[in-house]
Structure 1
Amino acid sequence: MNIVYLVFGSNLENYQQVYFSAYTAFAHKNTEDRIIVVAEDPSLFASFHDKIEILPISRALIKEWEGKYQFFWRVKIKALQLVAEKYPSDSILYLDGDTFFYQNMYSLRDGMKNGQNFMHVAEGKLSALSSKTERLMWKQMKGKSYFNVKIDNNSTMWNAGLIGISPKHFGCLDLTLGINDAMCADGVTRRLIEQFAFSLGLNEFSKLKPADNVVGHYWGNKSEWNQIISHFLKEIFMKNYSLDEIVEKIRQIDFSKIPVKVKESSTQRKLKNLVDQFYKNKKPLYINK
């Protein structure tokens, strides 16, 4: 099984998240499982040495992968196609960087081996979801078909923080890409297109199952997790821990004590932005060279 991450751009927090998630994967994977990082800056993973496989991608390739409609998250679909082409017999377990393993992955590995596809969790039927983006998507697509997949009252949105694809169903990536591009061509509001395309494409080949009992996804509490991860990485690098020591430290973390989602106060956020705007640091002092 290939455990796959994708990271590009220059934001170091995104790379740190992949580091931490990969360490949790080491704590639960089998010896035959392979960790692959599709990365724009491979040099940032030098400390792993030969423990993971890096598939480097360039900025030019990323722009090419965005396709005719220059859709940012189309890159995720193309990255998984790249891995599937290189390892056509191995399951793909893709994870966003802001994830972590907290249980063994036997059920996912065995399920994909037997033809089961996974995504992180079902968020609900698009027709019943309440966010502004989802309501607009439903209004735009209700009753339409994209690559012969009809959008109806039962069309379900799944969270794409985890995507598990059986090698028996790699054709679902072509379908997902086709649906994604057809939605872009139709002018569907973009923020969740790739996520919904995966939801539809994978489900056409195998009725999707959730994986949130194995992997946590802290998209709803990134600021706290980023602080925890930053502290964790500082400690292990300053103390020059071996990979075995890092994995043991991971196993000691009680992940149930850190929320993966919190309800942020919009009033607090607006007040903070207002204060930051009006009260800025003044009179910076620099050294003379």
Structure 2
Amino acid sequence: MNIVYLVFGNNMNHYQQVYFSIYTAFACKNIEDRIIVITEDPSLFSSLEDNIEIILINRDIIKEWEGKYHFFWRVKIKALQLIAQKYPMDSILYLDGDTFFYQNMDILRNDLINGKNHMHIEEGKLSTLSSKTEKMMWQQMKGKVYHNIKIDENSAMWNAGLIGISSKHFDCLELTLGINDAMCAHGVTRRLIEQLAFSMGLNEYSALQPADHIVGHYWGNKKQWNKIIDHFLKECFMKNYSFDHIIECVKEMDLTQNPIRVKESNTQRKLRNYIDIFFKNKKPVYVSK
């Protein structure tokens, strides 16, 4: 099985999240499992290069993968197609950086071998979801057909923080890409297009199964998790821990004690964004003593 991460850009938090997720993967995987990082800056993974496979991409590749509609998250679909072409006999387990393993992954691996596709968790039927984006998507898409897939009351949205694709069903990636591009062509609200495309494309080949009992996804509480990860990686660096010692430390951690999601009101979020923008644009003032 190929455990795959995709990270690019210059936000160091994203790279630290991937580092930590990789360490938790090593704590839970089998020796046969391969960890692959697709990135435009391999130098940031130099400390792991003896233990993982690193695939270099550049800005030209990223731009090409975004396609004619310049859709950012189309890159994820193309990256998984790249891995499927390189390793056609090995199932794929893709993870966003803001994830961690907290259970042995044998059940998940066996499911993929047996043809069962996975995503992290079912968020609900698109027709009943309550966020502004989801409501808008439903109004735009209900009853319409995208690459031969009809959106109806039973069309479910799954979380794409984890995507498990059996090697028996790699054709679902081409279907996912077609659905994604058809939605872009139709002008569907973009924020969750790729996630819904994966939900539809994978489920068409195998009834999707959840994986939240094995992998945590802290998309709703990155602020606290970034602090935890930053502290952990600094300690590992300052104390010059060996790779094996880092993995042993991860095995001793109870990651389920930290909340996955913290509810933030719209007022709190708007105020935080305003403050961030305000101080970003302010020039420093130096006061002499």
The bucket for the TM-score relative to the shorter chain is over 0.9
Write the letter of the residue equivalent to 2:67.
G
Q: Against the structure 1 CA distance between its residues 274 and 127, is the aligned structure 2 distance closer, same or farther, given a 3 Å change threshold?
A: closer
CA spacing shift, 1:35–1:124, aligned 2, 3 Å: same
The runs of 5 or more residues in structure 1 that have no matched partner are: none
The question of whether the paired residues in 1 share the 8 Å contact of 2:17 and 2:226 is answered with yes
SS at match of 2:202: helix
Q: Which residue of 2 aligns with 1:53?
A: 53
Residue pairs, 1:171-190, within 5 angstroms: 171-190=171-190
What corresponds to 2:74 in structure 1?
A: 74
Q: Are the counterparts in 1 of residues 172 and 204 from structure 2 also a CA contact under 8 Å?
A: yes
Identical pairs, percent? 71
Structure 2: which 5+ runs fail to align?
Answer: none
Q: Which shows bigger deviation, 253-262 or 208-217?
A: 253-262
The 8 Å contact of residues 115 and 168 in structure 2, kept in 1 or not, is answered as yes
- Structure 2 length as normaliser, TM-score? 0.96
Q: Which residue of 2 aligns with 1:86?
A: 86
The residue number in structure 2 matching 1:120 is 120
Mark the CA change 1:249 to 1:150 in structure 2 (over 3 Å): closer, same or farther.
Answer: same
Quote the Cα distance in structure 2 between the aligned partners of 1:189 and 1:172: 23
User: 1:81 and 1:102 mapped to 2: Cα distance?
Assistant: 27
Cα deviation for residue 272 of structure 1 reads 4.4
Partner of 1:29: 29
The match for 2:285 is: 283
Instruction: Find the aligned partners of 2:271 and 2:92 in 1 and give their Cα distance.
Output: 44
Looking at structure 1, the residues matched to 22 and 152 of structure 2 have their Cα atoms a distance apart, in angstroms, of 37
Shift of 1:19: 0.2
Matched to 1:151, the amino acid is I
- Kindly report which structure 2 residues correspond to 1:12-27, keeping only aligned pairs within 5 A, or say none: 12-27=12-27
Q: Which moved more, 1:262-271 or 1:55-64?
A: 262-271
2:148 and 2:275 mapped to 1: Cα distance?
A: 51
Instruction: State the distance in 1 between where 2:65 and 2:167 align.
Output: 22
Match for residue 137 of structure 1?
137
Residues 167 and 20 (structure 1 numbering): CA distance in 2 closer, same or farther, change over 3 Å? same
Moved over 6 A (4+): none
Equivalent residue number for residue 210 of structure 2: 210
Using the TM superposition, name which of 257-266 and 10-19 deviates more. 257-266
1:92-171 correspondence runs (5 A) = 92-171=92-171
Q: Deviations over 1:37-87 (max 9, x none)?
A: 001111100001310000110011000000000000000000000000000
Q: Does 1:241 align with 2:246?
A: no
**RMSD (Å), alpha carbons:** 1.6
